[in-house]
Amino acid sequence: MTRAISLHDVSKVYSKGVRVVDRLSLDIAPGEFLVLLGPSGCGKSTILRMIAGLEEITSGELRLDGAYANGLVPSQRNMAMVFQNFALYPNMTGRGNIGFPLRVENPGEDPRPRVDATARMLGIEDLLDRFPSQLSGGERQRVAMGRAIARHPSAFLMDEPLSNLDAKLRNHLRAEITHLTRELGVTTVYVTHDQAEAMSLGDRVAVLRGGVLQQLGTPRSVYALPRNLFVAAFIGIPRINLLRGVVRAPLDGAMTISLGKQFLRLPEPLSLDHQLLRVQQGREIFVGLRSEAVRIAKPASARPGEVAITGLVEHVEFQGHEIFVHFNTGSRPAVVPELEAPRPARPVRRRRREGSVLERLRERAGALRAGPVAVLERPGDGSGADPVPPEGRLPGDLVVRTTPDIDLRRGMQVPLLVDLAHLFVFDQHGERICPAPARLPDLAE
């Protein structure tokens, strides 16, 4: 029997006011595969442990199939957890590890039939008589999964189970997990910092930052319509191109977005999304372009909605079936600093007995963003020379995905076409303003 899992305004605060999860609300349907995705320190493993009963919930409610479950001990929740470090007993064979929880739950029952059935399902019959020290990393993880599956739990909780494996084995086991969870139909909550895992496994993905839910949706919707700059920068390989821009909307001319030495001219008549950009006139905004939103082609071959710019080739990354070309377009790059780093601890503020409407709105806005999304230019040395790329970033301000049959070399001047239908615009707070949100927030919410 699978089950529904609901979290309502759940928070976790450790000693000295360190808040690692902040008023999280999630509804996980029976049989759904939900992925908790975010950088290290965002609270995703803590959420999993609160669902399992290994961490106490500071405030809020956990409901299992609609029943209040905050006080249930782990053994009463009928959930199986798969850990990152396999957590196998070294003095037990594969059969002993898989059968151990069955012997604990039902001391008088012979676990061998269920162990054998699980082994056949996973194709690990030949591993049952080996000890963990005699198994490879992938084999150990299969045994660990077998231990969870044999219990016939109501939910699987997986805490980065593939992170210790090599890339090829991760891809293989990822496919196995997808097949098994679909076949068993068991509710699954999967924690990872690897967006490739999240996008390929999950029915829905919950993106977290600083213990606050940033966006919840299908992998396709999270990629295609990121709610804010953090989500846009975190999801996608290669990382989305982020450029600083200024909206120019003269009364007697075409609307443009200045990117430094070049600009994007918005086609007329303006779409509804582009019309809404008029309110940003003269303000600095942030432009997001996926690598597939720009193509190498001459202006004469532009399709409706495409505008021309030029780029100087800085670097070419050969990937086999495709190449990533790094261009210098004279634009002003922007980055989300410390995207992969844990968020600094935020002291817990005591809530006033009765706050004003303005205070409540400020509190809600802060919760939605988990703090401001700081965006900075590439650092320079103050000498007026070209800025130095941040650590880990290659030179250039625009990465374009293209086919390997195009011969490009460093220093070539290349015509580019930007598809404005795939243009993202974010305000100074990092919130997406184009494409416009489907609905504006209600102040009464």
User: 17: pLDDT confidence band, cut at 50, 70 and 90?
Assistant: confident
What top-level class would CATH report for the domain 5-229? alpha beta
Assigned token pair, 37: 């995705």
Measuring CA to CA, how many Å separate 265 from each of 126, 256, 407, 411? 64, 4, 29, 26
> For residue 169, what pLDDT is reported?
78
Would you state the pLDDT for residue 65? Answer: 93
CA distances from 320 to 169, 314, 414 (A): 20, 19, 22
Report the pLDDT averaged over residues 3-29.
93
| Helix, coil or strand: residue 219 | helix
Domain 239-336+373-382+389-434: CATH superfamily is Nucleic acid-binding proteins (2.40.50.140)
The amino acid present at 106, given as its one-letter code, is N
Write the CA distances from 318 to 310, 315, 342, 396, 405, integer angstroms.
21, 10, 32, 16, 11
pLDDT in tens, 46-101: 999 999 999 999 999 999 999 999 999 998 999 998 888 878 899 999 999 999 98
Confidence of residue 320 (pLDDT cuts 50, 70, 90): confident
Q: For 183-205, what is each residue's pLDDT tens digit?
A: 888 999 999 999 989 999 999 99
Give yes or no for residue 385 having a pLDDT over 80: no
What mean pLDDT is reported for the chain? 84
pLDDT of 396-422, one tens digit each?
899 999 998 888 999 999 999 999 989
213 within 8 A of 207, measured Cβ to Cβ:
yes
- Angstrom CA distances, 230 to 20, 237, 273, 302, 342, stand at 18, 14, 21, 31, 14
**pLDDT computed for residue 390 by the predictor:** 44
What letter would DSSP give residue 71? T
CA distances from 180 to 33, 37, 145, 149 (A): 11, 21, 10, 9
The partner residues of 95 in beta bridges, in order of sequence, read none
Asked whether residue 341 carries a pLDDT value surpassing 50, the answer given is no
pLDDT for 394 equals 55
Residue 44: both structure tokens together: 């995703």
How much is the pLDDT for 98?
Answer: 92
Q: State mean pLDDT over 340-352.
A: 44
User: Is the separation of the CB atoms in 238 and 401 below 8 Å?
Assistant: yes
- CA pair distance 203, 188, nearest whole angstrom: 10
Query: Which residues share a beta bridge with 8?
Result: 61
Give the pLDDT mean for 201-214: 94
pLDDT of residue 329: 93
Q: Looking at residue 441, what DSSP letter applies? A: P
Query: Does residue 22 contact residue 208 with C-beta atoms inside 8 Å?
Result: no
> Token pair of 5, please?
């899992």
Q: Which of 439, 430, 435 is nearest to 214 (CA)?
A: 430
Cα torsion at 47, 50, 56, 62 (round to 10°)?
100
Would you give the DSSP letter of residue 239? P
What percent of the chain clears pLDDT 90, i.e. is strictly above it?
Answer: 51
Which residue in 201, 154, 193, 157 sits closest to 176, CA to CA? 201
- The answer to whether residues 78 and 153 touch, using CB atoms and an 8 Å cutoff, is yes
More confident of the two residues 28 and 276: 28
**Minimal CA–CA distance to 424: which of 299, 291, 332, 296?**
291
Residue 315 has pLDDT above 50, yes or no: yes
Cα dihedral sign for 166, 54, 73, 186?
Answer: negative
Better-predicted residue by pLDDT, 142 or 359: 142
Number of H helices, E strands in the chain: 10, 23
> 80 - beta bridge partners?
156
Q: What is the pLDDT of residue 378?
A: 44
- Break the chain into its structural domains and give their ranges: 5-229, 239-336+373-382+389-434
> Tokens at residue 356, please?
């004003």
What is residue 387's predicted lDDT score, i.e. its pLDDT?
43
pLDDT-based confidence at residue 438 (cuts at 50, 70, 90): low
